[in-house]
Amino acid sequence: MSRFHNALDFVLSELDRRRESGYGDWRAAAGAIQRHGAARPRGVVPVPAAVAPGPPEPEDAQEESETTPMPKSDDADALSLFGEEPAVAAPKSRTAKTPPATAPGVYEPVTDPALSKDERLALLRVCPQRIPCTECPYGQEPHNHVVFGNGNVDAEIMFIGEAPGADEDAKGEPFVGKAGQLLNKIINVMGYQRADVYVANILKCRPDTPGQAYGNRPPRPDEMQSCRPTLFEQIDIIRPKAIVALGATAMKGLMDDESPMRDLRGRWHDFKGIPVMATYHPSYLLRNQSPAEKRKVWEDMLLVKERLGHAITEKDRGYFLTKG
Ligand code: URA
């Protein structure tokens, strides 16, 4: 077995061990690599020092805020899909610093493109240059998990949300809360299983909510900037045939496009040659449960299916159409 595979096996077994023991996997694994005597995992490409900081970005106008606290609802159906966010201890506030500017799609890879997708993702996941995010002004703050993303590394569709919420932070996986349950339904109605697709977020860590005992908040532009290189490399590794950006914040993080969702959805965008469909975030649908809003998302998903060459039945075409 090559020296690389020894190192990779070590990284993976360390992750499993940490995960099983219920401990946040990333700092420990990265620390263990250092203790193991390697300056960096083999297969990880050295990156140049951070580029000069860019100008601070304006605060994002949240036309459709996605990870904001969910409203209470008495509707039984709605309650089965979403309720109040679980109470979590508010982490201490982070000190904002300006991270290095990164234009959409532009980044220095830290993993060797000659390696397999699994190897590259495993290394990216624990790469000391990216995670625990030594360049990130927020990475050192308390959260339970880095929510890296998961799914089929050969997926034809990659769904990208904005940031982990409390549920995702607790579990270490993206979209496992109420919005995630709805996303799973959308994926199923499209004809896929969740395990067929790849799901990730712009931010890999849950944004802090200082002074707030529960709920989530949308990521700030500087936080998105900081996480971009990891997401961009993830996309380059998976190379899906299509990306679905869930919500306006995801579009801002991915493409630097600040247009409102009504202007973004229903048409194709391009991310380094990969077609991108923007649609409303599942959390938006949880708050706006009218068939008309569901229909908009469904029409976007039909465009994705069509683009990927999948058959669309008459039944498919009829979902959420309002009569009259
Ligand atoms: N909302 C997101 O954007 N991402 C998640 O992982 C969960 C909720």
Nearest CA to ligand 1 atom 7: 175
Ligand 1 in reach of 179 Cβ (< 6 A): yes
Closest listed residue to residue 43, CA positions, set 149, 95, 114, 101: 114
Distance 50 CA to ligand 1 centre (A): 28
Ligand 1 in reach of 163 Cβ (< 6 A): yes
Tokens of 53: 């900081």
Beta carbons within 8 Å of 311's beta carbon, 6+ residues apart? none
Tell which one of 168, 203, 261 to mutate to probe ligand 1, the residue whose CB is within 8 A of the most ligand atoms: 168
Q: What is the mean predicted confidence (pLDDT) over 293-315? A: 97
pLDDT tens figures, 259-281: 999 999 999 999 999 999 999 99
Provide, rounded to the nearest whole percent, the portion of the chain with pLDDT above 70.
64
Ligand 1 in reach of 162 Cβ (< 6 A): yes
Distance 34 CA to ligand 1 centre (A): 31
pLDDT of residue 1: 41
The atom of ligand 1 lying closest to the CA of 202 is: 3
CB 210 within 8 A of CB 159: no
CB 235 within 8 A of CB 243: yes
More confident residue, 130 or 215: 215
Ligand 1 in reach of 129 Cβ (< 6 A): no
CB 269 within 8 A of CB 276: yes
More confident residue, 29 or 307: 307
Q: What angle do CA 57, 255, 296 make, to 5 degrees?
A: 115
Distance 194 CA to ligand 1 centre (A): 15
Options 3.40.470.10, 1.20.1250.20, 3.40.50.720, 3.40.50.2300; CATH of 117-318:
3.40.470.10
pLDDT tens figures, 55-77: 333 333 334 445 544 333 333 33
Q: What angle do CA 18, 95, 246 make, to 5 degrees?
A: 65
Tell which one of 201, 227, 285 to mutate to probe ligand 1, the residue whose CB is within 8 A of the most ligand atoms: 201
pLDDT of residue 142: 64
> Where are the domains positioned within the chain?
3-46+54-82, 117-318
The atom of ligand 1 lying closest to the CA of 282 is: 1
Strands of 111-237 (E only): list them: 150-151, 157-161, 198-201
Give the least confident one: 45-49, 196-200, 209-213, 271-275. 45-49
**Packed helices 3-20 and 117-126: angle between N→C axes, nearest 10 degrees:** 60
Distance 310 CA to ligand 1 centre (A): 27
Give the least confident one: 41-50, 76-85, 198-207, 296-305. 76-85
